[in-house]
Amino acid sequence: MNTDNVRPRTWAPSATPMVTTQGGARIDTQARKVLRNTHALLSLTLLFSAGVAALSATQGWPAPGLILTLVGYFGLLFAVYKLRNSGWGLPAVFALTGFMGYTLGPVLSQTLSLPGGAQTITLALTATGATFLAMSAWATTTKRDFSFLGGFLFAGMVVALLVGLAAVFMESTALSLAVSALVALLSAGLILFETQQIVQGGQTNYVMATVNLYVSLFNLFTSLLSLLGLGGQNE
């Protein structure tokens, strides 16, 4: 959830070659390169993360627990940020996404143990993919500027994190479902915001762009998994 380098859209004349998409949005060649590299690296990290998650689920690796998950996530995220401009940036990205895949394994195992668990995972994956495609298409074709959403989305995720932690300690299923719904909506908004930041040139580092989109997709998928799994379990 990176809100750095946010700047309003300008239409000043530029000598940089521009490409106009079907919807009329203008994307310069540098932004197209960053977007292309981001999607390529994102695809690789998603495959790697999915492989680690599958291995974790099939081998029955234990869940790391809340504290280790938070320490591992924020520690590796900090490492990616520090190494984003060096050759160690890519290994750091795969370390982060691999760790998140490991944390996802026990969740998938638990979901598969529920009635209709495989269908729940498939539905959550389908909804996540469809949302990503829709938000990406909107961000790359619209002329509307969504940079104003950055602060709101970041603040919303902080609130969701705090309320989510409260739900864990309170063991409240209803509160957990409410948090999952909020995170799903915020994650969809972040995909739109982060993609447009690349299109507008506000995000020029494809390593950080990849991590931002990966985290949003991860949060969206796990939130949908929680909604469909816990919601169906309570029916």
pLDDT in tens, 60-82: 899 998 899 999 999 999 999 99
**Can you give the residue ranges of every domain in the chain?**
25-233
Burial-class residue 235 by CB neighbours within 10 Å (0-12, 13-18, 19+).
Answer: exposed
User: What is the value of pTM for the model shown?
Assistant: 0.85
Which residue reads 């985290």 in tokens? Answer: 215
Q: What percent of the chain has pLDDT over 70?
A: 86
Split at pLDDT 50, 70, 90, the class of 25 is low
Split at pLDDT 50, 70, 90, the class of 2 is very low
Q: What dihedral angle (degrees, nearest 10) is formed by the CA atoms of 106, 177, 3, 94?
A: 10
Q: Determine the number of helices (DSSP H) and then strands (DSSP E) in the chain.
A: 7, 2
Q: What dihedral angle (degrees, nearest 10) is formed by the CA atoms of 102, 104, 110, 113?
A: -90
Q: Which residue has the higher pLDDT, 16 or 111?
A: 111
As beta bridge partners, residue 28 has: 18
- Which secondary structure element, helix H or strand E, spans residue 19, and what is its range? strand 18-20
